Structure 1
Amino acid sequence: MSGVETLRAIVVDDEPLARRGLRLRLEQMADIEVVAESGNGRDALEKILELKPDVAFVDIQMPGVNGLQLVQLIPVDSLPHVVFVTAYDQYAVEAFEINAVDYVLKPIEEERLELALTRVREQRANADIANQREQLLEAVADLTKESPEVLEQKLVSGQFAGSAYPDKIAVKDAGKITLVPSSEIDWIDAAGDYMCVHARGETHVMRITMKELEQQLDPKLFQRIHRSTIVNLSRVREIRAHINGEYHLVLDSGECLKMSRSYKNKVQHFL
């Protein structure tokens, strides 16, 4: 196909047969070069950053890092044109169309696959590639309801490896990521839009909501005692009751934390 740009593609799907089927179809097209395939989001992220393909065919429903989360984790300057491969219902498909995100439904039809590639080429002909990528990220963020920052913290800390609660919390500051073992955290308190994570005498500051951080912590070990405070239960050495219905918790470090009345039912977790 003289004069037609060759598109470098990656196929991302956790089902080996699905990957093989799509790869065979793409390889039959003279202007498509499949440079890689991947069975999970974490591996796909590494390959996309390394190989920088032009287009990525991404299955949405994958264990660990799913297709929508994968797209959010890719930096905008490395984000290929994304064609979602999905078995989602019509409502999700409509959401993709509204946000100009392309898709092919499983089982994949030849005509629909060719249309998707035509749309990719049309987008590549548009000079405003950066803006298209930004729109894609915004569309995916609307669907997942999770920010790229939160997803990155989950990925780095190992939360997508299979455990419901990561062993380490990823604290990103000035381009550096510090992995703080959850077991070393004494308590956490809020300071405006930031969380202060107190561990082994050090304070780590991270931009995340209390709710998002709470979801990363095992409730068997961590409990919220105030709208702005989470405590490691194993660090509490003394509980002091006050006449106004509040409690004060004294930690091993000597730190004294206030438990508000609305959380006093949590006392049973310490006993």
Structure 2
Amino acid sequence: MNTLIIDDEPAANTELKKMLRAYHQELTVVGEATNVHEGLMKIRKLKPELLFLDIEMPGGTGFDLIRQLGKDARPEIVFVTSRNEFAFQAFNCAALDYILKPVDQGSLATAVQRAKERMHQKNSSRRLEALLANIDASSNADKHIGIPNDHGIEFITAGDIICCQGSDGYTLIHLADGTRRTSSYPIGHYKKMLPTPDFFMTHRSFIVNRKHVVRLSADEISLNGGLKAEISRRRKKLVEDWLS
């Protein structure tokens, strides 16, 4: 879980990083900031999932930072402060937790566990949203296919997909612009979602967009972008009929 620390006390930052590295290797500290302005820039650039945020800093407070950040793409927030009188205001900002300095391992462990549970809930929600977004996509080639990722759902026009390639329970989605996306859904999910007859499963590991087919050979299809898709023996005649 990518983590950002915003605190104007270098010693506090160092100690928090040591504790995270020693006891919570599932968190990766991607950056630090010492004031509101720098913190906002780091959040927008690094897009952390978890934020350890001091309240009193030069140039503004942690609450000022939250107000300027808005609700879009806001990370989970754990306030870390030496004063307890801000607790009510912190939880009104939907903070995940509120830890008093000096940070102890028990309080930190509780905050990290809450962050992990919240991220699990978010990921489950994103998967459900993507599934709902994909319902009935098979009826229209212009429909958008929802692909869940770490920051939400990316919607891709079906016609921009050259092919889908199954790999170890995941799906690699190759796009016409030369990029690709990795989906946590298996390829069978996209067999149901992608529109027919434009898309066809040529092999248990490949779904191909007919509009991007360049050449058919004995055991594979050449596609735009230099890509190739396998053809299973039992599907060869079906593929020929599909392309005819």
Name the TM tier (shorter chain). Answer: 0.3 to 0.5
Q: What is the TM-score with the length of structure 1 in the denominator?
A: 0.42
